[in-house]
Structures are given as C-alpha cells and as structure tokens.
Amino acid sequence: MSSVDGLASIYPPARFLRDAAFQAAFESDGLTAFRAKPLAVVIPESSEDVIATVRWCHDHGVPFVARGSGTSLSGGSLPVADGIVIALNRLNQILELRAAERIAVVQPGVVNQHVSDAAAPHGLVYAPDPSSQSVCTIGGNVAFNSGGAHCLKYGMTSNHVLGCKSVLATGEVVTLGGPSAESVGPDFTGLFCGSEGLFGIALEITLRLLPKPEMFHTVLVGYQSLQAAGDAVSAVIDAGLLPGALEIMDALAIEAAEAAVACDYPEGAAAVLIVELEGPREKIDVEREQLEEVLKKTNPFAQRVARDEADRLFIWKGRKSAFSAVGRLSPDFLVQDGVVPRNRLGEALVRIEQLSQEADLRVANVFHAGDGNLHPLIMFDGKQAGALERAEALAARLLRLCIEMGGSITGEHGVGMEKRQFLPEMFDAPTIALMDRMRQAFDPKRVSNPGKMFPGKEADVLSSSGLHPLEKAGVISRE
C-alpha cells in the first residue's frame, strides 16, 4: 500500500514493523479475550516521531492505538484491525525530578514503579500503585486513570497528574495543566485522564509526588463470615480512621493464595481483612490503639500484626498473589472490577454468591474494601462448550448488580473493549451523547483508539480467554 509508505518514511525499518511475528506479539493485551491484527507497529523514540505518526494517521484517516505495556484488563490497548499500533515503551525517560517542588515530568513509556524508584532517594513516592506497577506505564495509567490498593486515601491516577503535554487526535499539540498543583480555568488535565486513549497521546506528564509514609502498621484479621469482615470495614471507617489500605479476600481466594504462596493466613477463615495504617510514627502510635479497640468489637477469630517490614510484605504477598493463584485453581477466569457503595458490600457479596450458584460457576472474591471496589474472579473451563458464554453472562449480571446498587461498572480497569456495551446502562442517553460530542471535539475523524469505551461496531475482534502472558511467566500479578 502506497499510503503506508508515507508513514514508513518517518521510521528506520527496525522501528516500523509489518511482519507477521511482530503483529502477533501486539495483537492482544491484558484482556486476552480479544485479538486483532494491526496494519503496522511503529516504535517512536521521540515526541516528534509520535506527533508525525498521529498527524499522518489523521491526514490519511487511518486509526491508531497508543500502547504502553499492554496490560490493560479491559482491552483498551487492543489494536484496531488495519490500524497502527504506536508502541511507546522507548519513550521512557524521566525528564525532570524536582524534589523540592515534589514533581516529576516523565515520558509516557516510563514504568510506574520507576517513578517511585527515582523519587525514593528524596524520601518521595508516586502514590498510585496498580499491582501491575512493575511493568505498566504512566501513559497507560493516565489513559485509564488507574488505581491500586490506596485509592480511598490517595485517590486514583488523575489525582496525581498535574499536567500533560499531548498530541491530540487532530495532530494539535497542547499543554494541559502545568507544574503547579493549583490551576485556573476548566480542568482539561482532569478530563484527559481516563479518556482511554480516545483523545490523543500523552507525551510529557507532570506528576505530583508525596512524602513516603514514615511508618506502616499492618494487621491481618480472620473472620468466620464475609459479612463480619465487611462490617469490620464499616466499623473502622466509622471510628474516624483513614487507613491507607483496607482489603478483603474470601475463602476461595485464601485457599488459592495459600496453595500458591503458603501465606499462612488464619486457618478456616471465611474471610480475611488486611488493614494498613500509615503515617508519622506518633500518629500511628495513637491510631493503632484506636484500631485495636475497634477490631476487638468485630468478632475476629484470629488477628496478627506485622512484626516488621518483611512480615508486612509476607502478609501482602497472599493478597498480591491472589489473582495468579486463582489462575492455578481454574484453567480460565474472568475478572470484573465493579464498585458498590461501601456499606452495601455485604449485600453485594451475598448476591454474588447466589448468582454464582445459579450460574454453577465458582467465584473468588478479592477486593479493595475501603472503596467498595470488587474484583470477583469468575472461574471456568474454556474447553467446555458454552462455559465462556456462561461466565460472560455471569460477569454481565455482576456489572448490572453494581449499577443497580448505585455504584460503577469499573473502579480502575476502565471500560475499554470489554465493558463498552454497559456504558449506556450506567449513563443515560443525553450523557452518552455529550461524551460522544466531547470525543468528536478531540477526534473528529474517530481515528484515536476507535471501538473502545462506546458501544458499537467500530472495531471487530476475535476472542479467547486466560491469564496475561506476563502473569503466566510470573512477572506480575494482579490485585
């Protein structure tokens, strides 16, 4: 095709890939359920390369998808068939780290963990910590407004992004926000965060850094029922405490974690709760007493306080390994990330249990209890006829349950390809129409990551299911 030649002329051959092997490597993301073959994969090494590519795509009406590390769990970075994949991993420089101002300016391909690593010598940290943080990129985090285990206290990615220079789908280069924590005028930076790659590509992102908490106090509590664990979460909140993390795992998830990493969680627990306080030592001294008082009244049958940092990481290991551990119990699984109001958690879990029995599929529950963010893992065997369809039907029921309860279809994984048909169930027609007009404003030709977030048939895909290749290789695990 002569049209692709124009794009090819921007890149040396080694960074403009059209052969089948490379295309296969990029055909999927963390949601392995979907696959699509791109026309070409380009590997820019500078912002200018990205800008030239986007302009070329815009001029020729060829769709493109920005790609960080491809760990999206909702098919966000899935290529568009016959479109261009713009792989951003080589834009991996931390351009500036101004410790005194607590900001870092980074390129989009910088790995999340590397920001905190670079900030550590200054006693600072980049707070958002998705469990894929050792591989996922800041560009992907910004596009998906990614979360982690500390969102109740610290918020999501967008709460830590002060500005971003981007090339929009039209080829216009804009600087949104800036180095100050404050701003005037409408919050374009906030709008760009979570736009799932539909507005354009972030090129330079200004991040807010925070002082690393001086101390952690981590408690593992065992309960005889899920309900009791859920109630304990409310009790902690009602006591006026603001823990950095509040996480729950149910019996099936514990069983899986135990088998995988021997995490030594209380035997026979129907649920475990992990509560983590963090802050200056004097504050923790006071709050740990408060926490102890509160937990005493929640009927725990076992309780353990992390003795030291190694022990703390050991407690977290069970939690962090839960997803890949479930992958060992079942050949295939689907994970959802709906949100319910926190004080309806207990009710939601009972409903999930019922729906799981009705569907005759096991569901393990691991969740960010502090912010009501569920992660039900629906287990199935893809080799059985109709099993995937039943699992998907159950996943759909769970998402609708979250909507009915006044929550959200996604707390942190984004809508992407996977949940696009549910967006109109969460938002009414005028709201969807306005979102569509906003998209049109940024991308009149609909070339930037088409087929994602909004329902429709903008992009056709193939489907299958399973663990992310990096999880199978034991490189990362999910929360």
Partner 1 sequence: MNNRLLKPAHADDLITMMAAEKFVLPVGNRTKAPLSASADAALISLGAFRGIIEYEPSEFTFTARAGTPIADIQTALAEKGQYLPFDPMLVEAGATIGGTAAAGLSGPGRFRYGGIRDFLLGARFVSGDGQTICAGGKVVKNAAGFDLPKFLVGSMGRMGVLLELTFKVFPKPSALRTLRVQCDSHTQALARMAKAACSRWELDAIDYRPGERSMVLRLAGPARAIESIDHEIGTTWGEDVAELPLADTFWQSVNELNWSAPGAAAVKVPTTPPQCIALHQGLAGEEAIAMHGSVAGNVAWLLVASTDGLAAVDRQLQVMNIPGLVVRGTYDTPYLGVWQSPKIQQAVQAAMDPPAKFLSLYRHPRPPAQVN
| Near ligand FAD in 112-131, by CB under 6 A | 130-131
In sign, the C-alpha dihedral spanning 96, 98, 101, 103 is positive
Closest C-alpha to 303, from 418, 218, 242: 218
Alpha helices in 271-426 (DSSP H): 281-296, 309-329, 345-359, 387-404, 423-426
**How far apart (Å, rounded) are the C-alpha atoms in residues 377 and 179?**
40
User: What's the closest the beta carbon of residue 76 comes to partner 1, in angstroms?
Assistant: 11
Of 88, 325, 363, 409, the one binding ligand FAD (CB under 6 A) is 88
Binding segment (CB under 8 A) for partner 1, from list 62-70, 182-190, 247-255, 376-384: 182-190
Nearer to ligand FAD, 87 or 233 (CB): 87
Q: Does 375 bind ligand FAD (CB under 6 A)?
A: no
Binding segment (CB under 8 A) for partner 1, from list 29-37, 54-62, 207-215, 300-308: 207-215
Binding segment (CB under 8 A) for partner 1, from list 9-17, 152-160, 320-328, 350-358: 152-160
Q: Edge-to-edge strands of the sheet including 302-305? A: 302-305, 215-223, 271-279, 245-250, 363-368, 373-380, 332-335
Q: Does 64 bind ligand FAD (CB under 6 A)?
A: no
Nearer to partner 1, 7 or 426 (CB): 426
Judge whether 88 and 66 are in contact, CB under 8 Å. Answer: yes
Of 67, 160, 217, 420, the one binding ligand FAD (CB under 6 A) is 67
Nearer to partner 1, 182 or 308 (CB): 182
User: What's the closest the beta carbon of residue 308 comes to ligand FAD, in angstroms?
Assistant: 25
Q: Does 221 bind ligand FAD (CB under 6 A)?
A: no
Q: Does 16 bind ligand FAD (CB under 6 A)?
A: no
Judge whether 145 and 193 are in contact, CB under 8 Å. Answer: yes
Q: Does 108 bind ligand FAD (CB under 6 A)?
A: yes
**How far apart (Å, rounded) are the C-alpha atoms in residues 351 and 345?**
10
Closest C-alpha to 128, from 143, 139, 106, 112: 112
278: Cβ–Cβ under 8 A, 6 or more apart, which residues? 213, 215, 216, 217, 243, 244, 284
Binding-site size for partner 1 (CB under 8 A) equals 91
Q: Binding residues for ligand FAD, per CB under 6 A?
A: 29-30, 65-73, 76-77, 88, 108, 130-132, 136-137, 139-141, 143-144, 146-148, 196-197, 201-202, 412-413, 449, 468, 471, 476-479
